[in-house]
Homo-oligomer: A and B are copies of this chain.
Amino acid sequence: MSSKDLGISVKKNEDMSEWYTQVVTKAQLADYSGAKGFMVLMPYGFSIWERIKEYFDKSIKAIGHRNAYFPLLIPERLLKKESEHFTGFTPEVFWVTQSGDTVIGERLAIRPTSETVINESYSKWVKSWRDLPILINVWNSVVRAEITSTRPFLRTTEFLWQEGHTVHATEQEAETEVMTILNLYKLLTESQLAIPVLTGKKTEKEKFKGAVYTTTLEAMMPDGKAIQMGTSHHLGQNFSKPFEIKYLGSDEKEHYAWTTSWGISWRLIGAMILAHGDDKGLILPPQIAPLQVVLVPIFYKEDDRANILEETNTLAKALERAGVRIYLDDRTQYTPGWKYNEWEMKGVPIRVEIGPRDLKSGQVTLVRRDNGKKLQVARGAASEQIMKILGEIQHFLFSRAKDALDQLTETASDMETLRKTVEGKGGFVKAFLCDKLTCEEGIQHDTGATVRLVPFEKGESGNCISCGSKEGKLVYFARSY
């Protein structure tokens, strides 16, 4: 890649869409693929996904969940078992109809999500109250036809995700699971990705097809559009009944079980790019960054070489021992300036430079990716300083995103304000809305904004912003990715 290709040619706040595409490809996170709508997750992007996976996998295993794998293909008859679910997903399904030269008798759907195939197994596995709860998670990919244009991470036909599927003896337990997972998702996005989120329920219109209700995490991007970060569904007995997931209780009677499902996908990476990046490229929160520190030794004269490399190596080793994820960039085919650009594009939180002047003064130069500030620190204190600054960067990115969220949250009590805000700076607009589908649809039709969530807290009711009826509940509107 020549150095003129390395930079981003547009400013983030001038053309965020083009900026985003350039960051994704130039930071080598992802690439387009030959099949329309499909994306290649490149090694650097995958290593971010691995960090997300590792963190969340530990979180759920710590509370008793286990991983498994279920088939890619779902016979049509199975997909049809829960009718709302089938109707909801069928326009998006990819159908396998041939194997080799043979036409297959019953069409097979590539899983758009695995409720049906998993509940089919659960109906065999669950017999007694002793078999419950079942707490299973799957890391896989799913495929849903995307009619609109592809956006890496945010809108792709195939995406990597995790889907959790649990079975419980009681409704209460299932509802607790839904909230436990939602809270773990919030912890992931806020403590790791440094993205503040709002949580709440989806409306009937926006819920998962087949759920009793859907809970959601919503984040706000700098362009005023919301992004759904994950969902956790209470499925009630909507699946356990058609799939006959029944257990013999300790009361010696048969009961239908209660199920949940929940998922987050690689779109978290898309949100992270949008939330934190700047005109130079990606900015990664230290917690999630595959590389937290890159060390660049600089020498112009061959005489300095050995000493500078030795000093850089010593610091690199100290950081590794402290558990910091580092890369010592001693590649000789690139200049220091080229390396700075590359690692800034790739969003590495701290760059350490060690050059002849640093060598003499017994210092190293640290450059923060989040605010660009340079500072000199004594070599002996470098490791400790770096650890401290990594924490500061994590905190700073979250605060900055939190400020942006606050500034992009308004309240509207009339349609004119709602429309103006949505069409202007965007962001969340809080308003009262009644339960009538026509009100919700009307606003979406007029403004492009949908109800992102209904807060969990039962607040006072007010006049519906659309029809004026008194039964309006507080909701958050926004346009969204």
**In the complex, chain B residues whose CB is within 8 Å of the CB of A130:** 333
Taking a contact as CB atoms closer than 8 A, the residue among B33, B96, B101 that contacts A117 in the complex is B33
Residue A198 at the chain B interface, CB threshold 8 Å: no
Known A-B contacts A33-B121, A120-B34; A69 and B40 likewise in contact (beta carbons under 8 Å): yes
A141 to B158, CA, bound (A): 14
**In the complex, chain B residues whose CB is within 8 Å of the CB of A66:** 43, 46-47
* A93 adjacent to B100 (CB under 8 Å): yes
Q: Determine the residue in chain B with the shortest Cβ distance to A331.
A: B130
**In the complex, chain B residues whose CB is within 8 Å of the CB of A107:** 98
* A74 adjacent to B35 (CB under 8 Å): yes
Question: Chain B's nearest CB lies how many Å from the CB of A74?
Answer: 7
* B145 adjacent to A99 (CB under 8 Å): yes
Question: Chain B's nearest CB lies how many Å from the CB of A108?
Answer: 6
Residue A408 at the chain B interface, CB threshold 8 Å: no
Interface size class of A (residues with CB under 8 A): 35 or more
A49 to B92, CA, bound (A): 31
Residue A314 at the chain B interface, CB threshold 8 Å: no
Taking a contact as CB atoms closer than 8 A, the residue among B67, B72, B91 that contacts A110 in the complex is B72
Interface residues of A in 111-167 (CB under 8 A from B): 117, 120-121, 124-125, 127, 130, 136, 140-141, 143, 145, 158, 160
Q: Pick the most buried of A78, A98, A120, A141: most chain B CB atoms within 10 A of its CB.
A: A98
Residue A94 at the chain B interface, CB threshold 8 Å: yes
Known A-B contacts A31-B124, A33-B70, A38-B71; A99 and B94 likewise in contact (beta carbons under 8 Å): yes
* A96 adjacent to B99 (CB under 8 Å): no
**In the complex, chain B residues whose CB is within 8 Å of the CB of A59:** none
